[in-house]
Structure 1
Amino acid sequence: MVLKVPVIEQCSVSENVQQGIMVEDLAGYLARNKKLVFPHRHNFYHLLLFTKGGGKHTIDFETFEVVPWQIYFMSPGQIHTWSFEEEMDGYVVNFDRDFFKTFLLQPDYMTLFSFFSGLVQDEVFVVKEDEREGVADVFKRLRGYVHDVDFARVSLLYIFHVLEQQRDRPVALPEDTYNHTLLRNFLNLIESNFRTLRLPKDYAALLYITPNHLNALCREVLGASAGEIIRKRVLLEAKRLLVIKDYGVSEIAYELNFNDNSYFTKFFKKGIGVTPEEFRRKHI
Structure 2
Amino acid sequence: MKSKIPTHPLNKSFSKFEGQERNIIIADFDDRSKIFDRQYPHRHTYYEIFLLQDSTGVHHIDFEVYPFSGPVIFLTAPEQVHQLIREKGGHGFAIQFEDDFFDNDNGTDSKLYSYFLFDHFKNHPVIPLTVAEWDKLKTLVDMSLQEYKNNVSGTSSLISAYVKIILMEILRIRKQHFQEQEIQTDIQHQHLLDFKRLLNEQYTTHHEVQDYAEQLRITPRKLNSLVKEFLDKSASQVIKERLLLEAKRLLAINKLNTKEIGYELGFEDPAYFSRFFKQGTGITAAEFKKSLEKTD
* TM-score over 0.5 for the pair: yes
Q: Check 1:60–1:76 CA distance in 2 against 1; reply closer, same or farther (3 A cut).
A: same
**How far off is 1:190 after superposition?**
0.5
Q: Confirm whether residue 6 of structure 1 aligns to residue 27 of structure 2.
A: no
**How far off is 1:179 after superposition?**
0.6
For 1:238 and 1:26, locate their aligned partners in 2 and report how far apart those are by CA, in whole Å: 35
- Pairwise mapping of residues 47-66 of structure 1 onto structure 2 (< 5 A)? 47-66=49-68
Q: Confirm whether residue 190 of structure 1 aligns to residue 199 of structure 2.
A: yes
For 2:162 and 2:73, locate their aligned partners in 1 and report how far apart those are by CA, in whole Å: 16
- Residue 110 of structure 2 aligns with which residue? 109
- Normalising by the residue count of structure 2, what TM-score does the alignment of the two structures yield? 0.85
- Pairwise mapping of residues 133-172 of structure 1 onto structure 2 (< 5 A)? 133-146=135-148, 147=150, 148-167=155-174, 168=176, 169=178, 171-172=180-181
CA contact (8 A) 1:44 1:75 kept: yes
For 1:129 and 1:88, locate their aligned partners in 2 and report how far apart those are by CA, in whole Å: 15
- Pairwise mapping of residues 79-228 of structure 1 onto structure 2 (< 5 A)? 79-106=81-108, 109-112=110-113, 114-119=116-121, 121-146=123-148, 147=150, 148-167=155-174, 168=176, 169=178, 171-172=180-181, 175=184, 177-228=186-237
**How far off is 1:258 after superposition?**
1.3
- Structure 2 counterpart of 1:116, one-letter code: F
For 2:183 and 2:59, locate their aligned partners in 1 and report how far apart those are by CA, in whole Å: 30
CA contact (8 A) 1:59 1:81 kept: yes
For 2:259 and 2:28, locate their aligned partners in 1 and report how far apart those are by CA, in whole Å: 43
- Structure 1 counterpart of 2:188, one-letter code: N
> Which range moves more in the overlay, 223-232 or 84-93?
84-93
- Structure 2 counterpart of 1:233, one-letter code: R
Q: Confirm whether residue 230 of structure 1 aligns to residue 239 of structure 2.
A: yes
Q: Check 1:59–1:151 CA distance in 2 against 1; reply closer, same or farther (3 A cut).
A: same
Q: Check 1:101–1:31 CA distance in 2 against 1; reply closer, same or farther (3 A cut).
A: farther
- Residue 261 of structure 1 aligns with which residue? 270
CA contact (8 A) 1:110 1:116 kept: no
For 2:40 and 2:179, locate their aligned partners in 1 and report how far apart those are by CA, in whole Å: 29
CA contact (8 A) 1:16 1:22 kept: no
- Structure 1 counterpart of 2:275, one-letter code: K
Structure 1 residue runs of 5 or longer lacking an equivalent are none
CA contact (8 A) 2:144 2:159 kept: yes
- Structure 2 counterpart of 1:142, one-letter code: S
Structure 2 residue runs of 5 or longer lacking an equivalent are none
For 1:170 and 1:193, locate their aligned partners in 2 and report how far apart those are by CA, in whole Å: 30
CA deviation digits over 1:182-237, x for unaligned, max 9? Answer: 11111111101110101101100000000110111111221111111101100000
> Which range moves more in the overlay, 127-136 or 270-279?
127-136
- Residue 19 of structure 1 aligns with which residue? 22
CA deviation digits over 1:88-135, x for unaligned, max 9? Answer: 3211111121124233242x5231573133336333212233232121
**How far off is 1:46 after superposition?**
0.5
RMSD: 2.5
**How far off is 1:283 after superposition?**
1.6
CA contact (8 A) 2:120 2:242 kept: no
> Which range moves more in the overlay, 141-150 or 251-260?
141-150
Q: Check 1:204–1:198 CA distance in 2 against 1; reply closer, same or farther (3 A cut).
A: same
Task: Count residues with an aligned counterpart.
Answer: 278
**How far off is 1:37 after superposition?**
2.4
CA contact (8 A) 2:44 2:80 kept: yes
For 2:14 and 2:250, locate their aligned partners in 1 and report how far apart those are by CA, in whole Å: 29
Q: Check 1:23–1:116 CA distance in 2 against 1; reply closer, same or farther (3 A cut).
A: same
CA contact (8 A) 1:56 1:63 kept: yes
Q: Check 1:173–1:205 CA distance in 2 against 1; reply closer, same or farther (3 A cut).
A: farther
Match of 1:73 among 69, 75, 85: 75
CA contact (8 A) 1:54 1:84 kept: yes
CA deviation digits over 1:245-277, x for unaligned, max 9? Answer: 222222211211212322211110000000001
